[in-house]
Amino acid sequence: MNAYKPIIYTSPELEQMRQLVAGARAQLADLETDYTKEKSRVDAVQAALFRHLREHYQKRDRLRLTVEYRQKFLDSLIRGDTEAAKQADQEFEQAKTQSDKDYEELSAAADKRRQLTAEQEAELTRLWKKLVKLYHPDRFTNEPDKLEAYHKLTAAINQAKDIGDIETLREIAEDPQGFMLRQGWAHLDFGDDEELTQLRRLHETLKKEIAVVTESLKQLRESPDYELCQLREQKPGVLDGLAAEQTKQLEAEIVELEKQAAQLASEIKKAETPPPN
Amino acid sequence: MNNGETKNNFPLVRRPSSAIEKAAPGAKRILSGMVADTLALAKPVFTVLMCDDQISEIVELLIKTEWNQKFTLRFIRFSRTTELLKLVREQSFDLLFLYVGNVQWDTFIFDYPQAAEFLAELKAQYGKPIIATQGLDLRKSFEATDVTFIQAPFSVEEFRDALKANFPAQLSKTRPLRIVVVNDEEGPIESIKIILLKWFNKDAVVLTFYDSEKAWEELLRTPPDLLITDDIMPVLGGMEIVRRLADRKAAYPVILTTSFERSELDVCVRDCVNRGLKIKLLDVPFDIESFLKVVEDSLKIQRAKAEPDIQTTPVVADTDLESWYQTGDRYYFGRGVPKDYTEAIKWYRKAADHGHAMAQNSVGVCYERALGISQDYKEAAKWYRKAAEQGDAYAQNNLGACYINGRGVLKDYAEAVKWYRLAADQGNELAKTNLGLLNEKGGLDNAEALESLRNMAVQGYAPAQYRLGIGYRDGQNLLKDLAEAYKWLKLASEHPLHTIGNSIQELALLSSTMTQDDLAEGERRYHEFRIQRK
C-alpha cells in the first residue's frame, strides 16, 4: 500500500531466507505456468482427436461387441446350453451400456475443453505469480475454520486449473479475500511472514511442491499425448490428416466387422430353427 | 503450530486430475487407444521378427531410449522356420532376432553350422540385420557370415553392442566409461580421480570408495569398465577382491596398486591371469605418465587427441596477466584498435587460462553472446563459475543469471539467489536489481530499491524496464501511469538479447486497453527516451 516501508531492523539471515522464499516462489510460479499451459494444450489435442474419431470408434467398438456376443451366443446354442446363452445376452447389454456411458462421459469432458488463447497463456505467468503466494499449507493448522477455508480455496484453484478455467483463476489471483468473502468462507491472512522459522518452513514446503510439479511436468512430457501435441505444433493440420487416414482404416474395419456380424446372425438363425426331420 | 514435519495434506496442486483423466477406466482406455493409434500412424514402424518373447523388452528399451529416430515398434513372432520363411517373403521387416535353439527347425538342418548358413542365406537374400543367439558359444559358426551372434544369457550392454553393429548410425551415442577406484586413503583416491577426469575430459564417470566392502557391493551390482583397487585395506583387501573377481570370471580389466613387494601378491596375480582375469600391477608411488600408460593398456584405448595440460602450467607474472586482459579489453571495446571480438577472446582466453578472474568472466560473456566465438552456454557458465568462485562480482551476477535462465546449467533459483546475493553484497547494482526482480513487487517496495531499479532501466537493462512498466501499469507502489507503463514495456520488448517475461504480449494487452491520448503520450515518451539515449 504505502510506497515507503521503513525498515527498522533486518537480520542478514532473515533477508537471505526471504530471498530464498521469493526465488522458490518464482520457480514454482514458472513451473505452474508451464504445467497449466502444456496441460491445456495436451487436453485440447486429446479433445480434438476425440471429436474427430468418436463416431467411427464408437461404431467399431459396438460392432466388436456384437461379433463377440454373437459368437458366444452361437457357441452356447450349439452346445444347447440355454443358461449360457441367456448370460451372454445379459453381458452384451451391460457391455453396450457401459461403452455408451464411456463415450458420453468423454464427449462431455471434450466439450468443456477449450485451448487457452495466446493472451490467456501470457496472462498465466502473472496469475501464477500471485497464486503461489497463497500457498501456505501449514499456516492455518491450529484454526479449524480457517483450515477448512484454505482447503476450499486450494480445491477451487485446482478445479479451475483442471478445466482451464482462467476466469476463476484470475478472480482468485486478483482478489483472494474478495473471492473467499463471496463464497462465505472464513477470512484468511496471506501477508508475508516475518519470522525466520516460519519462513524456513515455508521454504521447505515450497521446495517439496516444486519437486511435485517438476515430476508432474516430466510425466506429462513423457506421455504419448504430449508427443502427439508436439507433432501438431510442428506440423499444424497433421492431426486432421492422421484422423482422416484413421477414419479410412476404421471404415474398412467396420465393413469387415459388419460382414462377420451378418454371417454370425445367419448362423444363429440356422441354429435356432430346428433342422427339418 | 510448529510441531515437526509439515503436513502436506492439501497442497495447492494435486495431480493428475483433469476431467478426462478422472474419467472411468473404460473411457480412459478408449482415449489412450485413440492417441496410440494416431501416433502409430504418424511415426515410421520398426518391425522386429522374433521367436523369443523375453527379448522384446530390451529391444523396446534400447530403441525407445537411445535410437535417434522415433518409431512405433511392432513385434511379429514365429515359432517354426516355415513360418519365418513365409514372414520374410511377405513382410517388410527391420530386424530379425532368433534364438537358435528355441526355433522349430522344419528346414532340414543337422547342426549349428548349417543353421548359421541358413541365416546367412536369409541375410544375403533380404539384406536385413539378423541377430542370432544361443546358450552355447557359436561364434565360430557365425564368424564367416554377416549374421551377428551373441551368446546367451547376455546383458543389455552386449545386446546394445550387437544392435550397434547393425545400426551404427541410429545408435551412435557413446556411453561414458565407468571407472571404480577403491582405496582406504584420501590422498591417492583424490589424485587418481583428478588425473582420470582430466584425461578423459568428462567422458568418464569415476566412482570412488574408501570402504572396500561397499565397493564390492557396487561391483556386483554394476560391472565397471575398469577397476583400480589398492592392495592393503581393512577387512577386504585388494588381493581378496581380485581373487573373487577371478572366481566370477569378471570381464573388465583391473589395476592393483601396491606399495610393498610381496611374493604372495605375485603368486596371486599370476594365478588370476591364468584364470583369465585382465589384471595389472602398479607400484606406488607412481608418476602420472606410467599410471596413464597402465590405464591405457588396460582399456586398450587411444589417448584423446587433445593433450590436456596435466603438466603444471609455467609460472606467469601477474603483470603479464593484467596486460593480456587489458589487450583483450582494447579489442573488445575497440579502444585505439579496430573492434575485433576474435582477437579479444584470444587475449582474454590467454589471461583466463592462467586464472585471471575478470578475463574469465569476459570469456564467459563472449561465449554467452557469441562474440568472436560460437555460442556455448555450457562454456559460458563454466567460465563464469571460475571467476565467480574467485569472488568476481560481475561473474557472480552472470552465473546467477545463468541459473535463472537455465543457460548451460539446470534452472535453479536457490543457486541463482546465492550468486546474486554474493554479488549484491559487493555492491553490484545489477545483482541488486536482479535479486529484487525475483520478487513480485521487488525493486518497487522501497525508495532505495526503486532508485536502483530506475537507474538500471534508464541504462537499458530490459528486466528492470519490464518491471518498471508492470509497476506503472498496476500502480504497484507507483502512481498508476499507463503512458509511462507503455514506454517501459515497449523498450523492454525491443531488447534483442533478453526477451523478457512476456513483454511483447503484455505490451499488446496494455495498448489494447489504453485510450488514444494515453497511447500517443506513451509513444511520445518512448521516442523522447530513445532520442535522449542516442
Q: Cβ–Cβ of A151/B10 closer than 8 Å?
A: yes
Query: In the prediction, which pLDDT does B309 show?
Result: 41
Is A217 an 8 Å CB contact of chain B?
Answer: no
Q: Which of A1-5, A21-25, A193-197, B152-156 has the highest mean pLDDT?
A: A21-25
Mean pLDDT of chain A: 84
- Fold for domain B177-299? Rossmann fold (3.40.50)
Across residues B329-342, what is the average pLDDT? 82
Q: Cβ–Cβ of B32/A119 closer than 8 Å?
A: no
Which run of H or of E encompasses A158?
helix A144-162
Query: In the prediction, which pLDDT does B314 show?
Result: 44
Does position B80 have pLDDT exceeding 90, yes or no? no
Q: Cβ–Cβ of B505/A22 closer than 8 Å?
A: no
Is B1 an 8 Å CB contact of chain A?
Answer: yes
Lowest mean pLDDT among A93-107, B185-199, B293-307: B293-307
Q: Cβ–Cβ of A98/B26 closer than 8 Å?
A: yes
Place of cell 603368486: B267
Across residues B284-306, what is the average pLDDT? 69
Q: Cβ–Cβ of B509/A20 closer than 8 Å?
A: no
Residues within 8 A of A (CB atoms), B 458-477 only: 477
Place of cell 544361443: B134
Helices B357-369 and B393-405 meet at what angle, rounded to 10?
Answer: 30
Of residues B98 and A195, more confidently modeled? B98
Does position B512 have pLDDT exceeding 90, yes or no? no
- For testing contact with chain B, the best of A138, A207, A246 (most B CBs within 10 A): A138
Confidence of residue B10 (pLDDT cuts 50, 70, 90): very low
- For testing contact with chain B, the best of A8, A19, A21 (most B CBs within 10 A): A19
How far apart are alpha carbons B384 and B394 in whole angstroms? 9
B37-166: CATH architecture: 3-Layer(aba) Sandwich (3.40)
Chain centroid to Cα B492, Å, comes to 33
Q: What Rg do the C-alpha atoms of chain A give, in angstroms?
A: 28
Does position B197 have pLDDT exceeding 50, yes or no? yes
Q: Cβ–Cβ of A50/B31 closer than 8 Å?
A: yes
CA distance B10 to chain A (A): 6
Across residues B211-231, what is the average pLDDT? 86
Can you read off the three cell numbers belonging to residue B357? 578472474
Q: Cβ–Cβ of B6/A138 closer than 8 Å?
A: yes
Residues within 8 A of A (CB atoms), B 482-501 only: 501
Each residue's pLDDT tens digit, A216-256: 888 888 888 888 888 888 887 888 888 888 899 899 999 99
Please tell me the class of the B318-438 domain. Answer: mainly alpha
The stretches of B334-410 forming alpha helices (DSSP H) are 341-353, 357-369, 377-389, 393-405
Share of chain B above pLDDT 70, in %: 83
Which of B203, B213, B215 is CA-nearest to residue B178?
Answer: B203
Is B17 an 8 Å CB contact of chain A?
Answer: yes
Contacts of B15 (CB under 8 A, 6+ apart): A212, A216
Residues within 8 A of B (CB atoms), A 120-149 only: 122-123, 125-126, 129-135, 137-138, 141-142
* CB burial of residue B515 (10 Å; 0-12, 13-18, 19+): exposed
Residue B231 DSSP code: S
Each residue's pLDDT tens digit, A267-277: 888 877 765 55
Contacting residues of B for A142, CB less than 8 Å apart: 1
Contacting residues of B for A197, CB less than 8 Å apart: 2
Confidence of residue B392 (pLDDT cuts 50, 70, 90): very high
Residues forming beta bridges with residue B277, ordered by sequence position: none
Query: In the prediction, which pLDDT does B445 show?
Result: 63
The CA-atom distances, in angstroms, between A265 and each of A60, A64, A89, A149, B126 are 17, 14, 14, 61, 45
A235: closest chain B residue by CA: B42
Each residue's pLDDT tens digit, B11-23: 344 444 444 555 5
Query: In the prediction, which pLDDT does B150 show?
Result: 87
Place of cell 554479488: B423
CA distance A189 to chain B (A): 16
Each residue's pLDDT tens digit, B107-117: 766 688 888 88
Residues within 8 A of B (CB atoms), A 167-196 only: none
How far apart are alpha carbons B252 and B466 in whole angstroms? 58
Residues within 8 A of B (CB atoms), A 55-94 only: 57, 61
Region label for B425, one of left (φ > 0), alpha (ψ between -120 and 50) or beta (otherwise): alpha
- Which of A19, A43, A242 lies closest to B438 in CB terms? A19
Q: Cβ–Cβ of B13/A213 closer than 8 Å?
A: yes
Q: Cβ–Cβ of A27/B413 closer than 8 Å?
A: yes
Query: In the prediction, which pLDDT does B161 show?
Result: 80
Does position B230 have pLDDT exceeding 80, yes or no? yes
- Which of A32, A119, A224 lies closest to B505 in CB terms? A119
Q: Which of A11-20, A105-114, B172-181, B419-428 has the highest mean pLDDT?
A: B419-428
**Cβ atoms of residues B504 and B493 within 8 Å:** yes
Confidence of residue B27 (pLDDT cuts 50, 70, 90): confident
Which of B299, B315, B294, B312 is CA-nearest to residue B198?
Answer: B312
Q: Cβ–Cβ of A125/B417 closer than 8 Å?
A: no
- For testing contact with chain B, the best of A102, A201, A213, A234 (most B CBs within 10 A): A102
Assign B497 to helix, strand or coil.
coil
Q: Cβ–Cβ of B24/A61 closer than 8 Å?
A: no
CA distance B485 to chain A (A): 16
Across residues A173-199, what is the average pLDDT? 82
* CB burial of residue B494 (10 Å; 0-12, 13-18, 19+): middle
Query: In the prediction, which pLDDT does A232 show?
Result: 85
- Which of B14, B42, B478 lies closest to A231 in CB terms? B42
Q: pTM of the full predicted structure?
A: 0.53
Share of chain A above pLDDT 90, in %: 10
CA distance A163 to chain B (A): 7
Confidence of residue B6 (pLDDT cuts 50, 70, 90): very low
Which of B348, B351, B353, B350 is CA-nearest to residue B328?
Answer: B348
Assign A237 to helix, strand or coil.
coil
Q: What angle do CA A228, A234, A238 make, to 5 degrees?
A: 60
ipTM of the complex: 0.78
Assign B283 to helix, strand or coil.
strand
Does position B364 have pLDDT exceeding 90, yes or no? yes
